[in-house]
A and B are shown apart, each in its own frame.
Chain A
């Protein structure tokens, strides 16, 4: 495997919660380590509250990490990312209605990021470059779209614009934080295809953050499953989906709605639990209270990652035993 472009090592981010003088520390992500190779789509999967967006936000420099290190393109990231890092690792946000300035034309923001991040593109060529970017993400005809205001675009088109803007700075990695979850099901697939196209044609890596396992399977090469701020399972997509080992991954699989199945295939998927708010956590596996396979040791110590194959790992005592 070639040298990874992003190496995250035991990244933690805590937030103080409760009022003034509160000692509560919410562990949004805890000791998370992973790597992203060039030209690879990695999916971070988990329920709301699993810490997946926090990871993206720390990577984008929106908040500093509490501890841990981030190495991006062989450089250690400081507390505040420089403009060049932001350009090489831009973010696409979840909400296509809140993340675009409504009073400026589409062209303005796109030309501006070309101006700031791409000194190699001469002023006279910027317009053509912006049109090319729009057409790359399927917004055609690009010349016309440049003149529009964001409110003239549908949700799906705005998200495509989000990707065009991210692409403007020639990134090596795009952080995509639930880019499709606010879109209609029928539009999602088009955007997922755009993401695949970026990987296949432009060699861009993507960190795709989602709670939808099926869409993660559709686009991602590798998959990382998070629960309550920790990685519980990771591996090649087909390994994780084909033989999920961690009971939490199995729970996620069993609850994914799929009309091709019968209702009886969902027996045991009646879990009403939610990821805990991890405030001043004690030892033990965080999934233990919901886990069907829970053992005594799960409550007293934290399971380490067990290697199941060179590319597939899970953190669970029950898996270890087997």
Chain B
């Protein structure tokens, strides 16, 4: 197997709060292969967006990286100066933000914003920029005439596709997507996901995709990481995690959405709220909400234990594995 494109080792991010540092990402280690689609799911406040920001080195106060490394293509991004980082941004790593409405400048045409990115990161001339802009727009099935449109003239789905076109401008090796579909309705969601999938196949970039709605990625991601309170609690092949979720939290997430098929049965979701990340107690962070909680769960925190291709952070699973 080739070298992973992205290696996270024991990444930790803290937010400074009046009551002490909140550990939003605590010791996350992940590998992303070239061309792989990894989805990260979890509730709001579980640290999934913070993790993306940490990878892209976009953290600003009160968040700060307090440990760990982000090795991208052999280079540790955490050790680079802002100027060196700039050389990697957009060319190697690009980010698609959650709300296309807010991420695009409403007073400039979309074409001008694409050109701006090109000028900042390449020495292309005017024609080359126009040519490439039209090319990426056709890739995401938007008529290049819309390069002359302002963001408000496009529908939500088109704006989000324009954001993806922008991210692909310089053929990055890694595209980071932070809930790009959450502002869209179902029909637009699916067509966007299909488009991302097709482009990934054609162009071979890797995707790191964050969402709270795991059904969105169920058919598109290769692997799925479930995050809870700043930790990865389950990691495995997407189908495997969906068909046989092992961590009680993942099982709860699977039970949380109604289906269009089969019997209508009452669902309960997961009781309780995510824990505070300041001064978290010893023991498993999910223990207060866990239906299968045991004594040891409250005493010490379980490790992420890998069994084959599936990794789970749970005392109960470890117990089953040991016996």
Contacts and interface: CB of A to CB of B under 8 A. Distances in A.
Nearest to B195: A272
Contact of B191 (A48, A252, A270): A270
Contacts of A155: 44
A190 interface: yes
Given A189-B258, A192-B258, A215-B258, A184 B212 contact: yes
Nearest to B215: A257
A193 B189 CA distance: 25
A152 B98 CA distance: 24
Contacts of A49: 155
Given A186-B252, A187-B269, A261-B219, 12 more contacts: A49-B155, A185-B214, A186-B253, A186-B270, A255-B187, A257-B190, A257-B219, A258-B218, A259-B214, A259-B254, A263-B220, A270-B194
Nearest to A215: B258
Given A184-B43, A213-B186, A272-B141, A253 B215 contact: no
A188 B253 CA distance: 11
Contacts of A255: 186-187, 189-191
A218 B267 contact: yes
A218 B258 contact: yes
Given A155-B44, A185-B256, A190 B269 contact: yes
B200 to A, nearest CB: 14
Nearest to A189: B269
Contact of B44 (A184, A188, A261, A273): A184
Contacts of A154: 273
A322 interface: no
Contacts of A185: 212-215, 253, 256-257
Contacts, number: 114
B185 interface: yes
30 contacts: A47-B185, A48-B185, A154-B273, A185-B215, A185-B253, A185-B257, A186-B43, A186-B253, A188-B256, A188-B257, A188-B269, A193-B266, A213-B186, A214-B260, A217-B264, A218-B264, A252-B187, A257-B190, A257-B215, A257-B216, A257-B218, A258-B218, A258-B260, A259-B242, A259-B254, A262-B219, A263-B219, A266-B190, A270-B191, A272-B191
Given A185-B214, A270-B194, A274-B157, A260 B268 contact: no
Main secondary structure, interface of B, reads: loop
A19 B44 CA distance: 41
Interface string B144-167: 000000000001111000000000
A60 interface: no
Interface in B253-286: 253-254, 256-262, 264, 266-270, 273
Interface string B175-216: 000000000011111110010000000000000000011111
Nearest to A216: B258
Contacts of B252: 186
Interface string A169-196: 0000000000000001111111011000
Contacts of A274: 155, 157-158, 187-188
A40 interface: no
Interface string A259-290: 11111001001111110000000000000000
A315 B266 CA distance: 32
A256 B214 contact: no
Contacts of B220: 263
A241 interface: yes
A236 interface: no
A286 to B, nearest CB: 15
A251 interface: yes
| List of 3 A-B pairs having minimum Cβ-Cβ separation, nearest first | A259-B218, A218-B258, A189-B269
A13 interface: no
A226 to B, nearest CB: 12
Contacts of A261: 219, 261
A200 to B, nearest CB: 11
Given A190-B269, A193-B266, A212-B186, A260 B256 contact: no
A47 B187 CA distance: 8
B98 to A, nearest CB: 12
A189 B194 CA distance: 27
Contacts of B215: 185, 257-259
Nearest to A264: B219
Interface string A111-135: 0000000000000000000000000
Given A258-B259, A270-B191, A187 B185 contact: no
A99 to B, nearest CB: 18
A255 B156 CA distance: 17
B187 A251 contact: yes
Contacts of A259: 214-215, 218-219, 242, 254
A109 B164 CA distance: 43
Interface string A202-233: 00000000011111011000000000000000
